[in-house]
Amino acid sequence: MIIDRFPTALSLAALLFVIAVPDASAEWFKPKPVTKSAGSYLKKQAPPKIDKGLESQINQDNSTVTISLSKQRAYLKIRGTDDVYIDTPVSTGKAGHSTPAGNFSVMEKDPDHRSSIYGDFVDGSGRVVRSGISSKIDSAPAGTRYLGAPMKWFCRLTSTGVGMHVGILPGYPASHGCCRLPAEIAPLIYQKVKIGTPVTIEP
């Protein structure tokens, strides 16, 4: 007899709990929110496009670069035409470090350039002691030295250090002012421009 009444007693207790706590049933059956990874919120950028048919036609004497800040794209073109040899995603300057718009030209080329401002403090063996520092505001811990962040295939555009180089492309403006390029694209642009090549940065 006690066994037969046990399930009924449990049901009655559950019913009384729901009546006493009106929101309880809603909480029990409320669907749990789906948690997305941070990466899923980033805008996917279209991959680089290379027109192989223009490879032999474009050179250091007839090339030009256009960078679109709003589109987060860069275009290596044959000057005076609409022919685009490379169309690539980029990452330009974030808020507070915006990439300047205007007309520029390549001032310097350095395949193994390092930043004179941003980098790490490393010890005598090259081990990183503090990373992501600014040489302008951070003091080096005792026994360390400054090592600038790598900026491979660097093409300088301004006297303040803004240029094009290899970097991480998260899908939005994230640099300290430079135009970051994919690792496979930066050397191609580097090869096709020279000191004096015009570069237009559009809003």
- DSSP assignment letter at 190: H
- Of the candidates 188, 171, 149, the one whose C-alpha atom is nearest the C-alpha of residue 65 is 188
pLDDT of residue 11: 52
pLDDT of residue 25: 44
State yes or no: pLDDT of 171 exceeds 90. yes
Q: Let me know how many helices (H) and strands (E) the chain has, helices first.
A: 3, 11
Domains of the chain: 46-202 (2.40.440.10)
Count of alpha carbons within 13 angstroms of residue 45, beta-carbon side: 21
Contact predicate 158/104, CB 8 Å: yes
Contact predicate 191/101, CB 8 Å: no
Residue range 60-70, pLDDT digits in tens: 999 999 999 99
Residue range 104-150, pLDDT digits in tens: 999 999 999 988 777 788 888 888 888 777 777 888 888 888 777 88
Q: How many CB atoms lie within 10 A of CB 122?
A: 17
Average pLDDT over residues 10-28: 47
State yes or no: pLDDT of 41 exceeds 90. no
Average pLDDT over residues 172-182: 96
Q: What is the Cα Rg of the chain in Å?
A: 28
Mean pLDDT of the chain: 83
The pTM of the full predicted model, rounded to 2 decimals, is 0.73
Give the tokens for residue 84. 């685009």
Give the tokens for residue 131. 């990373």
**In this structure, are strands 102-105 and 84-89 parallel, antiparallel, or unpaired?**
unpaired
In whole angstroms, give the CA distance from residue 95 to residue 174.
Answer: 8
In whole angstroms, give the CA distance from residue 30 to residue 19.
Answer: 17
User: Is residue 184 classed as helix, strand or coil in its secondary structure?
Assistant: coil
In whole angstroms, give the CA distance from residue 89 to residue 46.
Answer: 7
pLDDT of residue 118: 77
pLDDT of residue 8: 53
Q: Residue holding tokens 């749990």?
A: 32
